[in-house]
Structure 1
Amino acid sequence: MTTETIQPNPEQIRRAPKVLLHDHLDGGLRPGTIVDLAREAGYTGLPETDADKLGVWFREAADSGSLERYLETFAHTCAVMQTREALVRVAAECAEDLAEDGVVYAEVRYAPEQHLEAGLTLEEVVEAVNEGFREGERRAKAAGHRIRVGALLTAMRHAARALEIAELANRYRDSGVVGFDIAGAEAGFPPTRHLDAFEYLKRENNHFTIHAGEAFGLPSIWQALQWCGADRLGHGVRIIDDIEVGEDGKAKLGRLASYVRDKRIPLEMCPTSNLQTGAASSYEEHPIGLLRKLHFRATVNTDNRLMGGTSMSGEFEHLVKAFGYTLDDIQWFTVNAMKSAFIPFDERLAMINDVIKPGYAEIKAEWLFQ
């Protein structure tokens, strides 16, 4: 038996270095923090005030099979993220929680425009979240964990502030912000409504990802790539619609799928979230299994840890069970993600060679000599 056959246990998965590219700040709060912040802000709209019951409510409300219903849960988290102190706390706890789960690099996204109700400016929102991430990194280090967190500034597809948020991302690109994102319901709100933002980012040589191919199909992916020029695809799960598997098991790729694979366009795949929103029917049927076999640039992500009741370790545990993945498979996904991060090449390479590969080698060595 070789290391290629090692199916890791939950503790090995937790210890393995992991990279997260698609995680929403307002989708990852601790239930207890929501209760605390709601009390401090005088927010009375929570469906539960007991932290454990509230956590269950979020998971059940999100587990509806509807992206629109899934997005409704964010009204409560955003409601308690309207002050500098709240944003610092949430961001710091985010970094701590990810580090505890073995994440060594993360890009966490949020929409600054959704945190202005108490009078903060866009700049104050960004600076508060950045402060929180740095504080969380310090706390993680003190606890014996290593993590680096970069922010992605998100614009909302249904709103009209994409260019403003893109300019904000560019201003803070050397101060903790690593790129731009656009999110929200896909149907009826194509990314082409915000071409001015994407053209601006390309002129500034800045990075951006676009939510595409989750609730909507191939046209959304095509527009994100060919009209907007996205560096990565948020989800991209519906690229499977352009792949035909014959009775002999061989896959025939359509032109769009071939383009995505040939160009090594990263797919920010979020299995648990995709099940909740109806983009996939089960872990076993999730397109990530076929995309892994076909060597697409697939990555594994959490999307919304609170709503999904998930973590990076949890996502990999499901995939190990569904597809028999080994430590080598998990390392493959992790290296894919690190290669696709929005930080400079030399820094990505250092993370792969100095942190990720040694981390997996250590776990494999322990297994061989036990």
Structure 2
Amino acid sequence: MLKVENLSISFQTDEGMITPVQNVSFAVQAGRTLGIVGESGSGKSVSTKALMKLLPGNSRVSDEARMTYTDKAGREVRIDQLRPKGRDIRRLRGGEIGMIFQEPMASFSPVYTIGNQMIEAIRLHQKVTKKEARAQAIAMLDKVGISNPVGRVDQYPHEMSGGMRQRAMIALALAARPALLIADEPTTALDVTIQAQVLELMADLQRDLGMGMIFITHDLGVIAQVAQDVAVMYLGTIVESGPTADVIRNPRHPYTQGLLKAIPSLDALHDRLSPVPGDIPSPNERPTGCPFHTRCSQRLQGLCDQQLPPTVPLGPNRSVACWLETPEHRTGAEVDAQQQIKQQEPAQ
């Protein structure tokens, strides 16, 4: 239902032009969830805001980018060719593509009630009366598990707790029944109990409404619960992608391996965590070669720090951007491993 190809995004700043997203490509299938995972500053949110034409005025999307969306009627829409304030993109926002933003308190208007904002969204995309839209808003609030939805619909955002505002934000995003939902770190500010409830709620709603979903997070543990496909982003590029189960069972990129090692385990509560060493570089100080080589313990000197790695296919819908996975270097690594095993074997 959605295909993004060669997406690069630049921003004009006081320090010059920076490019936080470079040549990103991914696809979302109807009824499935694509998880986009990576540290803060990886370009996850910026990439998806480009789909909604919500980037600021100092931004520029590359001419080579293609963003193709198939709407509910089966028509292909080139999002990259739409005007940011045109009628066509306004039809897509909310009606076709819904978005749950990171911080619901900043996403809701503080001077209007939750119900007013939901009714406006519903009437923009459906030909219903205000009374019918209010009934739909109350039903959606009830569907996302908010108690006493008839009373809550007339409350302001500040009158709700954080978990309740998050549920209201989900209800607002789903009010017009979009075909594709973008969830931008919807559980980051929630405690573990509420987080589990919200994840279960979103899975149930996706199944009931048949939506496709893009789920953005920095937690691979959450991705393992909600997404069938995953794209791992680092410094504006996708370094590994594929079916979630395959990527988690057999991570091939050193960055993906580092993210998995950093997840706490109940089986090793007394062990120290193994964070990915170093910090993610600033987009205006992007290193040459592989963007991850400055933090990679497996880097190949003279190669990883000089040349950008190719994207290597590993199977159906599975790929990795790493020099270690190219045929010549993978073969060399396997030979070295076999030699080490032979050296460790006792003499016969």
Write 1 or 2 for the structure with the bigger share of strand: 2
The answer to whether the superposition gives a TM-score over 0.5 is no
Shorter-chain TM range is 0.3 to 0.5
Instruction: From the CA coordinates, give the structure whose radius of gyration is larger.
Output: 2
Write 1 or 2 for the structure with the bigger share of helix: 1
TM-score, length-normalised on structure 1? 0.31
